Amino acid sequence: MKNRKRLLLFLLSLPVLMTGPAFSGDFDGSNALTGSVDRLIEINRLRVIEGVDPDTVGLPEKFIIDFRENTLRGTPDSLVRRVVRIKRIEHIEDKLILLGADEGMAGTSSGLGWSLSIEKPSGKAVLSAAGSGIAYVAFGTCTPIRGGK
């Protein structure tokens, strides 16, 4: 009788156990992602600046992550036209983490290292980037592009 109850309980809970977050399979690198920056903070040696416009620091407000090319680039309507290479991709717990380094503008010391952490269940994203005496933290959201373009 106990075994039958356990089996019934298991079978009833199976649909709940099998349902995962709607997007989690889409954050495995098989589909490109589109994203947007909702909030950007600049931190330097003197102060913290809230509400920074992403375009002014070379970060597109709307972007595409292309896993086939290992790139992050602005959308076609973006003011920022740079393409940044993704050096490493990690799947840790329920997160997709992208890592990179960017030389920045030619002739300047604006190079920096960056990481983008995307929560697979929700698509919420945090970008952190640091260079010479400056750091940026951006909060945003990523969603899968069906068909993977």
Task: Say if CB 6 and CB 34 are below 8 A apart.
Answer: no
Residues 6 or more apart in contact with residue 6 via CB below 8 angstroms: none
**What is the rounded distance in angstroms from the CA atom of residue 113 to the CA atom of residue 131?**
7
- For the beta carbon of residue 86, count every other beta carbon within 10 angstroms: 17
User: How confident is the model over 91-144, as pLDDT tens digits?
Assistant: 999 999 999 998 765 555 578 899 999 999 999 999 999 988 899 999 999 999
User: How confident is the model over 62-84, as pLDDT tens digits?
Assistant: 999 999 999 999 999 888 888 89
Question: Does pLDDT of 15 surpass 90?
Answer: no
Would you state the structure tokens that stand for residue 37, as one six-digit string? 């920056």
Instruction: Specify the pLDDT at position 109.
Output: 58
Fill in the DSSP letter of residue 6: H
pTM recorded for the entire structure: 0.77
Strand bridging mode 88-92 / 112-119:
unpaired
